[in-house]
Structure 1
Amino acid sequence: MILRGLLETDSFVGGILNAMPLPVFVVDDDMGIIAYNQSASQLLGSDPETVIRRRTGELLHCVHSYETQEGCGRAPLCRDCILRNAVGECLREGKAIRRKALMEVAPKSAPARTIDLFVTAAPFKYQAGGYALLVLQDVTELVELRSIVPICSYCKKIRNDAQYWDSVELYIKTHIDVQFSHGICPECFEKVRLDRPEKDP
């Protein structure tokens, strides 16, 4: 509570956090929210009494937080939680951690959906406590845009990131690291067979 009070009374520190356009949380080692900025309040609600000391996964409606009565961090799959692991690692190793994550959320009034996140956790100490600054960047829209592949409607070549046109085989091999073997489908086999004159024995 001391830290939350500092952020509320220190206009410089609070001003810096609130100027950030991304949701920023100050969390403890169990993902309990100690403080948060204005961008985060759009996700959580602006009433600190309903937010402070609650765990991040519960407030973000992580589907795994519903799996047990104990909530966020207590379900079997919480061991693999990127947010929780990034915070734990930054607090143990004393350095900033950045990870890409998928988080499945299910707000009570909306259908479940998966969001792509960049998760950044940076450690800091305040008085006798160790905390993490947790920054969440929703990149779902960017990931969806990258998944749209421009393909030529005539020759079926694919435009790559450098604006060159690659064959489908080269594009897939480059982006997915897949090797091709070539065969012939039944329809093409029939076309090829019909196009070739039969040789006399």
Structure 2
Amino acid sequence: MKTEFASPERLNKSDLAVQTEAIKRDSVLGQMLDAMPNIILVLNRQRQVVFANQVLLDHFNITSIDEFVGLRPGEILNCIHSAENEAGCGTTEFCRECGAANAILNSQKNGADIQECRIIQNESLEALDLRINATRFKVSEEEFTIFAVTDISNEKRREVLEQLFFHDVLNAANGMIGYTELLRIVDQDQVPGVADQLMTMHDR
């Protein structure tokens, strides 16, 4: 299978089952993941899901992680690019700029990474703004990645509104400064007109 970014390799079902059982046997880890308020996935070196916390099960209204085992994050989140290549999530040219894919790869190399990403969902074209915390850890001497998802859509919308607000404030302030400068140089009989314009801007 071809790839334009990350490795396309996947483990087969039997190997995935062994990894899933290894995670399930660690009851402390399972309890810790279930205590987290956001969606947590446990990924293997091939970026496939082998375990997830209760928040994910509740979000998708399912009772077992089995139907998601072997998938990659973008395939679960229905990313518009996840089915473009036969190899799936992480293997298209668009994945080079994906914060989720890069966070996973960087955590595998460096131990941990935090990145933001925007996922456009297939069919609905709805945008998900997410912050991804990826952390490498070991179970039975095998490396995995804890992939924590935080929805920051509201935070991003607030940032846009703040930028628009400050843009309007700066425009108004610059306009008032301009009219104030005019008051200093116009003829005396023109002052009332400039003052009226200044008051109009003030009333806005």
Give the TM-score normalised by structure 2. Answer: 0.67
SS at match of 2:70: coil
1:98 aligns with 2:111: no
The residue aligned with 1:34 is 50
Q: Give RMSD over aligned pairs.
A: 3.4
CA distance in 1, matches of 2:31, 2:155: 28
Identity of aligned residues (%): 23
Contact 1:29-1:88 within 8 A present in 2 as well: no
1:21 aligns with 2:37: yes
Q: Residue by residue, what CA displacement relative to the aligned partner does 1:131-155 show, whole Å, maximum 9, x if unpaired?
A: 111101001022213333499xxxx
1:120 aligns with 2:122: no
| Higher RCO structure, 1 or 2 (CA under 8 Å, sep 6+) | 2
Q: Residue by residue, what CA displacement relative to the aligned partner does 1:43-82 show, whole Å, maximum 9, x if unpaired?
A: 4543322111111111110110122233212222122221
Q: Write 1 or 2 for the structure with the bigger share of helix.
A: 2
Following superposition, the deviation at residue 170 of structure 1 comes to 9.6
The residue aligned with 1:80 is 97
Aligned residues: 165
Distance 1:81 1:149, change over 3 A: closer
Contact 2:84-2:92 within 8 A present in 1 as well: yes
Which residue type is aligned with residue 156 of structure 2?
V
Contact 1:26-1:132 within 8 A present in 2 as well: yes
Contact 1:25-1:35 within 8 A present in 2 as well: yes
Contact 1:24-1:36 within 8 A present in 2 as well: yes
CA distance in 1, matches of 2:173, 2:66: 52
The residue aligned with 2:28 is 12
Which residue type is aligned with residue 125 of structure 1?
K
Mind listing any 5+ residue stretches in structure 2 that lack a counterpart? 1-16, 180-185, 192-204
SS at match of 1:64: coil
